[in-house]
Structure 1
C-alpha cells in the first residue's frame, strides 16, 4: 500500500482536478438518485425495498466511476478497477439475466399499459383476468379458479390479446338444423334464432346481431350466430344464448343442435355434421 501511495504523482493540478471530479461526482450522484426515484415511482408494482436497492446500485456505480477518474489524475492505474468492474458486471448479467429481462418487460408493460388490472387477456395459451402486475410477472386468474403467473418477458414476446380493451367482446354460437321439405326456410330459421339471441340475458342491444350461413344441403343447414356482450361475462352469456335459441327452435318443432363450442371446419359433408 505504501509503495502504491509513493507511486502517485500528486501536485496542485492533480489535487485540483481530483477535487473537481469529486464535486462533480457528488452532484451527479444526487441527480441520479432523484431521477431514478422519479422513474421507479412510475412503476407501482416495484416494492419500496426493491426501489431503494436499485437507487443504491446506481449511486454506488457513479461514485465508483468518480473515484476511478479522480485517481487517474494522480497517475494511478485504474485498469485493475475496470477489470474487476467488468467481471462483476458480466457475472451479474449472467446470473440476473432472466430477472433483468422480466423486470425490463414489466417496465414496458406498465408504462405502455397494453393491459390493466381487471382485463381479460390471452397470452401463451392462457386465458384469464389480470389480478396483479409486478416486476416479475403478470398474475391472472383463469375461469377454473387457477392463479397463473405469466413471466413479463413471455407476455411481451408472445402475441397478447386483450379481450377487455374495447369494453365488449363478440362470441359465436353454432346452430345445426334439419331443414325438411315443406318446413321453414333458412331465412325463417335465422330470424327465429336472432330473435332468441336478442332476448337472451347479457347480450348487448346496441351492437348488431349477425347470422351467417356456413353450410347448406337439402336436409341440413349450419348457421353461426354472432353477438356482443361484456368481455368478462362470456361463459354466462353464451350459455344463456344456447338455451334461448334451443328453446325457440324446439317451440317450432325444429330438429336442431345448438352449441357454443364452435368446431373447426370439417372435411365431412354438411349433411353429416
Structure 2
C-alpha cells in the first residue's frame, strides 16, 4: 500500500510539473507566434517603405532599391527569429556568435561573388552606363541589355549574347559611346598637288550641309591635315547624333567617294570628212 501511495504521489507531482511547464511554454509559444506575426508584417512594411523611398531618389536604379529593401526585410526577420528563440530560453549571445562565424565563413567562401555584388552596387549608383547604351571596356564591347547585382548582360555588334561579371567592368576604364547626344567624326580625302584646296574644302562642306543628320551647331568644318610634294590631305570634321552616328558616317563616306571620283574626259572620236 505504501508503495502504491508513493507512486500516486510521484505521478501527481510529475503531472503538476508537466502542467506548470505546459502553462509556461504555452505562454512562450503564444508570445513567439505573436512575435513572428508582428515581425513578419513589420519586415514587409519596412521593406516596402524602403523600396518606395529609394525609388523616388533620382539616380537610384530599381534593382538597387529592391536589393536594399530585401536586405532590410531579411535582417528584420533574423532579428525576430533571435527574439523568438530568446522566448524559449535560448542564449541569444551564442546564436549571434554562431551567426557571425557563419557569416565570416560564407564571406570568405564567396569572396569573388561578394566582389561582384559590391561592383554591381557601385555601377548601379554611379551609372557609368545604362540599358540601351553602347560601351567598350577592355576586351568587352556591346550594347547594355541588363545591369544586375552579379553580372551585366550585353549584346555585341554582331548580335552575340555576352555576360560580364561586374568586377571586370568596374576595375577598368569605360568608354560610353551613347552617353552624350552627339559625336564627332572626320573624313579625310587626298587630292593632287595641282588640285584646288579651297574647292575641295567647299565641296566637303557642301556634302556635310546636304546631309540632314549632320548637326548645324557645331557646324561642319574643314582643314588641311597634311601635304607633301605630290598630294594634299583635306579633312572634314562634323558632328552627328549618337544614335545615327554610324549611318551618317557610312552615307557621308560614300557621298565623298562619289564626289571626288575623277571621271576621265571623253575622248573625241576621230573621223575623216567625206
Class of the TM-score when normalised by the shorter of the 2 chains? 0.5 to 0.7
Question: Within 2, Cα distance between the matches of 1:94 and 1:143?
Answer: 38
1:93 is displaced (CA, Å) by 0.9
**Rg bigger for which structure?**
2
1:217 is displaced (CA, Å) by 1.0
Alignment-derived partner of residue 108 in structure 1: 122
The 3 A distance-change label for structure 1 pair 156 and 38 is farther
1:118 is displaced (CA, Å) by 1.9
1:146-177 alpha-carbon deviations (Å, 9 max, x no partner): 22223223323221222222211112223233
The 3 A distance-change label for structure 1 pair 172 and 150 is farther
2:210 is the alignment partner of 1:169: no
Structure 2-normalised TM-score? 0.64
Question: Within 2, Cα distance between the matches of 1:106 and 1:210?
Answer: 42
Q: Is the 8 A contact 2:51 2:65 kept in 1?
A: no
Structure 1-normalised TM-score? 0.64
Q: Is the 8 A contact 1:130 1:141 kept in 2?
A: yes
Higher RCO (CA 8 Å, separation ≥ 6 residues) = 1
Aligned residues: 224
Question: Within 2, Cα distance between the matches of 1:227 and 1:169?
Answer: 8
- Hey, which of these two has a bigger chunk of helix by percent? 2
Out of 240, 246, 249, the residue aligned to residue 257 of structure 2 is 246
Q: Is the 8 A contact 2:64 2:121 kept in 1?
A: no
The 3 A distance-change label for structure 1 pair 38 and 111 is farther
Instruction: Give 5+ residue unaligned stretches, structure 2.
Output: 1-30, 56-60, 265-274
CA-based RMSD of the aligned residues comes to 3.8
* 1:88-237 superposed matches below 5 A: 88-180=102-194, 183-184=195-196, 186-200=197-211, 202-237=213-248
The 3 A distance-change label for structure 1 pair 92 and 36 is farther
The 3 A distance-change label for structure 1 pair 178 and 145 is farther
